[in-house]
Amino acid sequence: MGELREHWVNLRTATPSHRRVRLLAVLGALGFALSQAAAGGGGPVAWVGAVVLGLLVVVQPNGIMPALFLVWAIASWWAGVEGPWHWALLPATWSLLLVHASAALAASVPPQASVPASVLRRYAVHTGVVALVSTVVWALAALVTTGGDGGGPLPAVLGLALLALALVGYVRVRERQRQQA
């Protein structure tokens, strides 16, 4: 019980910038619930569960709650939404990304400290890159699943090649950053 009180005190004494970052998790949870409803999946239990877990991420962004929220969201989508692809999957993915980024940013800065602008910019850039890559993967998935026979092994091979190129590019960028530092 003392740990729950500590999380509550941290939330109450947090700086306004830290609270705004934490509240982004609630917006992400609401976005996910609305996306799931738009896809015709889940039900009141899944939607309310996502929002309640999003609120718990606000209280405990550096513990088990973000992971529990993501597991709940993915499982409820998988169990409730028909088919391998739906247009609402993109806003749902962005919503999950918002919850994750919000929790990670809130956990990286002490609650009583203001969130530095440089850290906020770094998280915004990283989140934007992941959102862009997610959009490309969503569009490619739409092409593959709405096509005729799925294209055989070609989409899988192209996807793996694209992933390998992205990883090589990431490693090279990280090496350059380390050399400059």
Query: Does pLDDT of 90 surpass 80?
Result: yes
Render pLDDT for 39-59 as a digit per residue (tens, 0 to 9).
998 899 999 999 999 999 998
Global confidence as pTM:
0.79
Query: Does pLDDT of 174 surpass 90?
Result: no
Query: Does pLDDT of 3 surpass 80?
Result: no
Render pLDDT for 92-132 as a digit per residue (tens, 0 to 9).
999 999 999 999 999 998 888 899 999 999 999 999 999 99
DSSP 89-146: HHHHHHHHHHHHHHHHHHHHS-TTSPPPHHHHHHHHHHHHHHHHHHHHHHHHHHHHHH
Mean pLDDT throughout 64-68?
Answer: 94
Q: In the chain, how long is the greatest CA-to-CA distance? A: 58
Q: CA 160 to CA 125: how far, in whole Å?
A: 24
> Residue 116: exposed, middle, or buried by beta-carbon count in 10 A (0-12, 13-18, 19+)?
exposed
Region of poorest pLDDT, from 36-40, 118-122, 146-150: 146-150
- Half-sphere exposure (Cβ direction) of 59: Cα atoms closer than 13 Å: 16
Query: Does pLDDT of 152 surpass 80?
Result: no
